[in-house]
Amino acid sequence: MASEILERLFSLKGKTALVTGGYKGIGRAVAETYAEAGAHVAVVARNLHGCEEAAREIAGKYGVRTVGKSLDVSDSKRVDGVVQEIAGELGRIDILVNSAGIPGSEKPVLKMTDADIDEVMNVDFRGTFLVSRAVAQVMVRQRGGKIINVSSILGKIAARNMAGYCASKAAVIQLTRVMALELARDNIQVNALCPGYVLTEFNRDFFASEAGKGLVKRMIPLNRVGTLDELRSTALYLATCPPFLTGAEVYVDGGHTLI
């Protein structure tokens, strides 16, 4: 009985997911989760080799169809072309996860250059907008789909020397709300996944340091950082959630935004 309930609520068999930034980090974890749940998966990022390798590994491990393609999410024409290629090769796009992003330059506002702000906004906000627009057109024709935009707790709270990143992630949250409103009648749900500090291979050394331990103690009520598994389960829920859930911001942050 339990397996039947899980199958009914969380299976992605017959679905197709597109994950930007999907060959490493949060994107890779989400892509693997969806494949494990039965979905066919398209992995895109600027690193073609990384995407193709990730697609091969995911296909070999879970037995689903996969595609790996190079994509600069800030390039409008390339985005439109790649989205159409994926829809043609895999038949449809049921789930989009906008995970591609960069932290940008860590500088105070008065020392930021035009290039600094353009770089982070072009990827984190413009990229999310462009891919969402292209995929939403496919979903409208299908009469349904789910879009999950990966934002951050820094879309809600402020952090020194992170103006570009904070602004871009706040823009992603507001874009999520507007898209949810506009696409509701097309049976497309749009929600934002907002992680706090999550342990990855890139920050492991920092969080093992005294500075990292001090930050955790000061800022996270659960007194630890999150895990990729905790994001995986949330991403799966958002890909299978009931249509009545749309325009939401889901914070997976150990209570960080409560302080």
How would you classify residue 53: left for phi > 0, otherwise alpha for psi between -120 and 50, otherwise beta?
A: alpha
Residue 197 clears pLDDT 80, i.e. is over it = yes
Look up the pTM and report it: 0.96
Supply 246's token pair. Answer: 């749309």
Q: Provide Rg for the chain, Cα atoms.
A: 18
Percent of the chain at pLDDT > 70 equals 98
Question: E strand or H helix at 193, and its extent?
Answer: strand 188-195
How, if at all, do strands 95-98 and 66-70 pair?
Answer: unpaired
Dihedrals φ, ψ of 193, to 5°?
Answer: -100, 120
How would you classify residue 252: left for phi > 0, otherwise alpha for psi between -120 and 50, otherwise beta?
A: beta
204-253 pLDDT, tens per residue? Answer: 999 999 999 999 999 999 999 999 999 999 999 999 999 999 999 999 99
Does the active-site annotation cover 23?
no
Residue given tokens 């939403």 in the structure block = 136
Domains, the chain, with CATH or none: 2-198+228-251 (3.40.50.720)
Supply 256's token pair. Answer: 């960080």
The residue from 34, 165, 197, 251 that is catalytic is 165
